Structure 1
Amino acid sequence: MLTVWGEGRGFRVIWLLEEMGLPYRLRDVDLLKGVENDPEFLAVNPGGFIPALQDGDTILVESIAILEYLLARYGPSPLAPAPTDPAFAAYQQFLHLGEAGLAASAFFVIGARRLGPESDRNSFSARQAEHVFESRLRLVTRRLAQVPYMAGEAFTAADISVAYALQLGKLGADLEIGEAAQAYVQRLKARPGFQRAIAASPATRSFWESKGGL
């Protein structure tokens, strides 16, 4: 049985598992209570961050690496175009842009503006992270003017990566994502796989509902 440790970016993993129809269990990790109080989780990931995936003796961390592992290990899947597919390059670009360009930037804005002291809320680093988010968002917006999905004409794991990041930026950091990106996210949220994933993710569902995101 696959075990997903923690929500947060782990929602990406849950969404992919639902789209692929793979059985799993979600094990909650409460970072606010302190991972030092969760020795079982620290035995899985001594770094103390989420998500983590446990597949037998195999343990992975980092949400995009987990997506790629699942698609390779339990594929082939139409959610990951083959390297020979013309959509492969765009798929790879947006799969990683969703984390490295969008979600990571939103995370630092959230840290500064929701968790940091008043003096740091508009710091140089917070403004820089917001600028990075906005610059990568322009790539997403341009792509949506050309095709319905990040890889082209079909939904893939790249959309899971990007849509989660857009939600994180909008709901968590109060960043503007624009009408095209908002319509794209709303369209993806209508997918049965997303609906199953959000139903299975109580912490994510509660947070999004509190922000009017569902």
Structure 2
Amino acid sequence: MLTVYGEGRGFRVVWLLEELGLVYRLRPVDLLAVGNDPDFLAINPAGFIPALQDGETIMVESIAILEYLLARYGPGSLAVAPDDPAFASYLQFLHLGEAGLAGPMNAVFVGRELAPEAEREARVTRWARETFEARLGLVIRRLTDSPYLAGDRFTAADISVSYALLFGMRTGNYVPGAVERDYLARTTARPAYLRTMESCQATKAWAARSPGL
């Protein structure tokens, strides 16, 4: 049995599992009380989510988990083969969804919402916002030519980037333009996404309170 620990970026993992039709268990993790969760800390002593347990194998970092699952359980489905012309685009956007979008947006959220008043809108927060916007430009340019980030078909790169855009929207720090709105309408209409929202009840509740999808 595959076990996913935590929602947040674990939403990406659950979404992929739903797309692949794999059986899994979602185990909630309260990051505000992680010190009182020795079972989770035994899985990931660093105390962050998500984590994946697959038998004796333990993985952390959402994009690495996606690559692991695709290589082990779903080759040729939501991945792109190295000899495919779309491989470079697929790989770039798979990682950009975290490194260039969700990571910087997380810094924006912390800087604007969680930092003490005197530290809000600090230079690092503005830098993170500028980084997000610059990387977003690459996404928009790609989507003006293709319905999905690897071309004509949905891949794990779209899971990665869609999550990042939804995170920005739900924290109130990003308003999508027409290109992104149309893109998210396509990705979030997928049956596997809808099943993921039902599985990830904390995310579903957060989305209901938020300005994003």
* TM-score bracket relative to the smaller structure: over 0.9
Answering whether residue 163 of structure 2 is matched by residue 143 of structure 1, we say no
What is the one-letter code of the residue matched to 1:165? A
Distance (whole Å) between structure 1 residues aligned to residue 140 and residue 46 of structure 2 = 35
What does 1:55-74 align with in structure 2 at a 5 Å threshold?
55-74=54-73
Paired residue secondary structure (2:41): helix
Paired residue secondary structure (1:76): coil
Query: Does the 8 Å CA contact 2:108/2:173 hold for their aligned counterparts?
Result: no
What is the one-letter code of the residue matched to 1:105? P
What is the one-letter code of the residue matched to 1:127? R
Q: For residue 161 of structure 1, what is the aligned residue in structure 2?
A: 160
What is the one-letter code of the residue matched to 2:29? V
Q: Which runs of 5+ in 1 are unaligned?
A: none
Paired residue secondary structure (1:159): helix
Q: For residue 206 of structure 2, what is the aligned residue in structure 1?
A: 207
What displacement does 1:173 show?
4.5
What displacement does 1:175 show?
1.8
Runs (4+) of structure 1 moved beyond 6 Å? none
Q: Which runs of 5+ in 2 are unaligned?
A: none
What is the one-letter code of the residue matched to 1:49? F
Distance (whole Å) between structure 2 residues aligned to residue 203 and residue 122 of structure 1 = 28
What displacement does 1:75 show?
2.2
Paired residue secondary structure (2:26): strand
Q: For residue 79 of structure 1, what is the aligned residue in structure 2?
A: 78
Distance (whole Å) between structure 1 residues aligned to residue 205 and residue 130 of structure 2 = 28
What does 1:3-152 align with in structure 2 at a 5 Å threshold?
3-32=3-32, 34-152=33-151
Tell me the TM-score normalized by structure 1.
Answer: 0.97
Distance (whole Å) between structure 2 residues aligned to residue 182 and residue 113 of structure 1 = 24
Deviations 1:139-162 (A, max 9, x none): 000011000000011000000000
What is the one-letter code of the residue matched to 2:92? Q
Deviations 1:76-117 (A, max 9, x none): 232001111111110000000000000000000111111111
Between the aligned residues of both structures, percent identity stands at 60
Query: Does the 8 Å CA contact 1:94/1:162 hold for their aligned counterparts?
Result: yes
Query: Does the 8 Å CA contact 2:101/2:136 hold for their aligned counterparts?
Result: yes
Tell me the TM-score normalized by structure 2.
Answer: 0.98
